[in-house]
Amino acid sequence: MFGIRKFLFKDGSPAHLPDDVKAAIEAWRASSGPQLDDAHFHVRYVVIDIISSGLKPDSDELLGIAAAGVREAGMIVPDDAFYLDFSAIEGEGEAQQQAVDRQLMAFLQFLAKAPLVTYHVPYVGGFLQRIYKERLGIDFQPNWVDLAWLLPSMFEEKSHTLQPLDHWLDLFGLASGSGRRDAMENTLMLARIFQMLLVRVSAKGIDTPGRLVDESRASSFLRRTH
């Protein structure tokens, strides 16, 4: 399915974009990502959560993005975080549209092609892919680590089946009382689970981001199809 889309929307910036965004996209395309065969310690991961109007990436609307970098094999630094609330972007008409595009671009620059971590890639990745394709003409295909599928295979002693995120938080003893969490709180929860996961996978010999991404792919494939 992704292949067909790629075919339909050939890479290239849409004409309506402001020049600075176009230039930034070119620069981003030309930039190289981190070495995925390096140690976890040397590679920065970015943990992401989103807010949307519904669960269907193809038709519902993306409302916000919260992301936090995790570096040096498990360190969350306040300076390395990103929060985008589309409804808070000021301006009207074309100016507002351009502001949205610039923010999307800023987010790409923030990511810096790092491997991305989230809970349930089809949902999060689906929304991101659509908005980047529609607005910036970018085929957003980062290296994903999907906690939803990876946790049951890495923390079998806690649960070996797919669980809602809140169940996992309970199992990890991270449940932070009652009340809804906002997207950044959710991201930080995911980041904590990811910090724990990094220790666990390293102990299992999965010692590079490349291997972790492969493991994530394998686990989601195996679990879904078997």
Partner 1 sequence: MRQEGRRRVAGNTLAFLKNHAPFNKMKAEALQAFADKAQLVFHSAGSEIVGPEAGNVRFFYLIESGKVQARQAGEVTVTEYSILSLGVGESFPIGAVTAGRPSTNTYTAVDDVFCYQLPAEDFMQLMTSSPEFNLFCTQYIASLLDQSRCQLQLQFAQRANEQQTLNSPLVGIGSRSPVAVAPETPVRAALETMSAAKVGSLVIAGEDRKPVGVFTRSDLLDRVVLADLPHDAPISQAMSPAPFKLEEHATAYDAMLAMATHGIRHVLVTDAEGKLTGVVSERDLFALQRVGLRQIRQSIEGAHNVEALQQSAADVRQLSFNMLAQGVGAEQLTQFISALNDALTRRVIQLNLENHNFDGIEWAWLAFGSEGRDEQTFSTDQDNGIVYAVPDGLTVGELKTRFLAFALDVNKDLDRCGFPLCKGNIMASNPQWCLSLDEWKEQFSQWIRVPQPEALLNATIFFDFRPLFGKVELAEAMRRHLLAQTSSNPMFLRAMAHNALDVEPPLGKIRDFLTDLEPDHPGKIDLKKYGSRIFVDVARIYALATGVHNTNSVQRLRLASKRLSIRDDEVNAVLEGMDFIQFLRLQHQYLEGEPGTQGDNLINPDDLNELDRRILKESFRQARKLQTRLKLDYQVN
> Could you list the residues that contact partner 1 (CB under 8 A)?
66-68, 74-79, 81-85, 103, 106-107, 110, 173-174, 182, 184-185, 188, 191-192, 195-196, 198-200
Q: Quick one: 173 or 205, whose CB is closer to partner 1? A: 173
Q: Quick one: 115 or 220, whose CB is closer to partner 1? A: 115
Q: How far apart are CA 132 and CA 85, in angstroms?
A: 16
Which CA distances in Å does 13 have to 5, 180, 226?
15, 38, 40
- From the CA atom positions of the chain, what is the Rg in Å? 18
Cβ atoms of residues 39 and 201 within 8 Å: no
Shortest Å, Cβ 188 to partner 1: 5
Taken in order 129, 132, 138, 141, the sign of the CA dihedral is negative
Q: Quick one: 138 or 201, whose CB is closer to partner 1? A: 201
Which CA distances in Å does 85 have to 48, 51, 123, 215?
14, 9, 18, 32
Shortest Å, Cβ 71 to partner 1: 9
Shortest Å, Cβ 157 to partner 1: 13
Q: Quick one: 34 or 64, whose CB is closer to partner 1? A: 64
Shortest Å, Cβ 127 to partner 1: 17
